[in-house]
Amino acid sequence: MTEKIATIEDVARHAGVSIATVSRAVHKPDVVSEATREKVQTAIAATGYTANVMARNLRLNRSGMILLLVPDIGNPFFSSILSGIEKGASKAGYNVLIGDTQNDPEREATYAAYLRSNQADAMILLNGRLPAPLAKAPVNATPPVVIACERIPGCALPTVIIDNDQASFVATRHLLDLGHTRIAHISGPSGNILTTDRVGGYRRALKAAGIAPEQSLVYRGDFSIDSGIAAGRALLADEKTRPTAVCCASDGMAIGVIVAAKEYGLRIPEDLSVVGFDDIPHAAAYDPPITTVRQPRRR
C-alpha cells in the first residue's frame, strides 16, 4: 500500500488550528505565538509534513539553511551564542549549518561556496573576516551576511558587536581605581581586530590616568588558557618588574595568569589583581572567581 503523503490539512487537524495558521507558522513563524508555533511543529513532526516544507524550499530555490562560521567551536565563549542563533533560526523556519573554520582562510572560502551553490541562504560570521569569495564581490551582489562578535573595518555589512575599546577601557580603569599603577595587558593574536580594540582601550585608560603605557607590559596570547599561562609566567618571573595587576582580553587567559601566579606563590587578589573578558561560565566557577567584562551573547 502506498503511504499517504501528509498535507497541510493533516497538520491543521492534528494541531487543532486552521490551515491559515499552519501556513503562517511555517512561512512567517514570527507572526504567531510561541505556543501555536510549538503545536504546529509537533504536528508537522507527527504527520511527516516536513517533506512538504523541503519541497517548498526546492520550488523557491532556497535551502532553508543558515551557514554559521565559527573560528573555534571549542571556545566556551561561543556556546550560548550558537544556542541563541539556532533558536532564532528555528523560530524563523531555518536550520543552522555550523562551520568550524579554525581561523583557516581556506576553510572559510570552502564554506562560503555553500552560498554560491544555494546550499545555504544566508551566513553569519563570528570570526571578523570575510571569506575571500565574498570580499571580492559587491555588497549588493552578496547573499545576506551578518557579522557578529568581531567587526570588519570598512565593511558595510550588518554588524552586531560591543564597543571592545570602551569595554577594555572600563576594565583597566577598574584596576586603576583599586590603586594599581603597574598594569599589564594580555591581548589576543596579532592581526585580530579584538586585539587592536582591547589593547587600544587599555592604553587609553592608562593615558587618561597620566600613566605612560609600557610595551614590555603587553603580551600576545591567543585567548586560550595555555597562552595565559605562558604570558603570566613571563610577566611574573621577575619580582622587581612584575605588575601588580593584569587585564586579560579573555577569561581563558585570565585563568592562565592565575595558574602562573599560583606557581610563583602569589595570592589572588591580595598579591595580584586579574580581570578577564567575556564572562564565560568558568569565570564564576574558578577559584577564586574572576572579575570579568560581561559580554552579552544572547537575548
pLDDT in tens, 150-164: 888 888 889 999 999
pLDDT at 4 (0 to 100): 67
Residues 77, 250: Cα–Cα separation, whole Å: 9
Tally DSSP H helices, then E strands, for the chain: 12, 10
Q: Are residues 288 and 178 in the same domain?
A: yes
Q: pTM for the full model?
A: 0.76
Residues 7, 18: Cα–Cα separation, whole Å: 13
Tell me the sheet residues that pair with 247.
185, 275
pLDDT at 210 (0 to 100): 97
pLDDT higher than threshold 80 for residue 214: yes
pLDDT at 25 (0 to 100): 81
- On the 0-12 / 13-18 / 19+ scale of CB atoms within 10 A, 296 is exposed
Give residue 277's pLDDT band: very low, low, confident or very high (50, 70, 90).
very high
In a domain, residue 126? The reply is yes
pLDDT higher than threshold 70 for residue 138: no
Provide the 3-class DSSP secondary structure of residue 187: strand
Please give the mean pLDDT across all residues of the chain: 87
Structurally, the chain folds into a number of domains equal to 3
Q: Are residues 85 and 120 in the same domain?
A: yes
Q: Which of 136, 160, 184 is the last residue of a domain?
A: 160
Q: Are residues 144 and 185 in the same domain?
A: no
Which letter does DSSP use for residue 158 in this model?
A: -
Among 6-15, 135-144, 212-221, which stretch is predicted with the lowest mean pLDDT? 135-144
> Which residue has better confidence, 296 or 166?
166
Tell me the sheet residues that pair with 69.
99, 125
pLDDT higher than threshold 90 for residue 216: yes
In a domain, residue 190? The reply is yes
> Which residue has better confidence, 130 or 173?
173
pLDDT at 1 (0 to 100): 45
Residues 18, 32: Cα–Cα separation, whole Å: 12
Q: Are residues 186 and 267 in the same domain?
A: yes
In a domain, residue 253? The reply is yes
Instruction: Give the cell for residue 281.
Output: 561560565
In this structure, are strands 245-248 and 183-187 parallel, antiparallel, or unpaired? parallel
Question: For position 120, which CATH number holds?
Answer: 3.40.50.2300
In a domain, residue 35? The reply is yes
In a domain, residue 1? The reply is no
Give residue 286's pLDDT band: very low, low, confident or very high (50, 70, 90).
confident
Cβ atoms of 90 and 27 within 8 Å: the answer is no
Residues 168, 213: Cα–Cα separation, whole Å: 14
Q: Are residues 170 and 289 in the same domain?
A: yes
**Edge-to-edge, what's the strand order for the sheet holding 159-160?**
95-100, 65-70, 122-125, 145-148, 159-160
Average pLDDT over residues 87-94: 83
| Nearest C-alpha neighbor of 154 from the set 135, 168, 169, 137 | 135
Q: Are residues 50 and 138 in the same domain?
A: no
Which letter does DSSP use for residue 219 in this model?
A: E
Give residue 41's pLDDT band: very low, low, confident or very high (50, 70, 90).
confident
Question: For position 30, which CATH number holds?
Answer: 1.10.260
Q: Are residues 116 and 175 in the same domain?
A: no
Q: Are residues 32 and 152 in the same domain?
A: no
Q: Which of 118, 142, 160 is the last residue of a domain?
A: 160
Domain that holds residue 259: 164-294
> Which residue has better confidence, 286 or 183?
183
Average pLDDT over residues 216-231: 95
Which residues, other chains included, contact 252 with Cβ-Cβ below 8 Å and sequence gap of 6+?
75, 76, 223, 224, 225, 228, 276, 280, 282
pLDDT at 234 (0 to 100): 96
Q: Are residues 114 and 47 in the same domain?
A: no
Give residue 54's pLDDT band: very low, low, confident or very high (50, 70, 90).
low
Give residue 239's pLDDT band: very low, low, confident or very high (50, 70, 90).
very high
Residues 277, 51: Cα–Cα separation, whole Å: 44
pLDDT higher than threshold 90 for residue 118: no
How many residues are given for the chain? 299
Among 56-60, 165-169, 173-177, which stretch is predicted with the lowest mean pLDDT? 56-60
Average pLDDT over residues 138-149: 78
- State the Cα angle at 96 between 148 and 19, rounded to 5°: 120
In a domain, residue 299? The reply is no
Q: Are residues 81 and 45 in the same domain?
A: no
Q: Which of 100, 131, 160 is the last residue of a domain?
A: 160
The amino acid sitting at 262 is: K
Q: Are residues 177 and 226 in the same domain?
A: yes
In a domain, residue 168? The reply is yes
Cβ atoms of 155 and 131 within 8 Å: the answer is no
| Nearest C-alpha neighbor of 199 from the set 236, 243, 247 | 247
Average pLDDT over residues 256-262: 97
> Which residue has better confidence, 283 or 291?
291
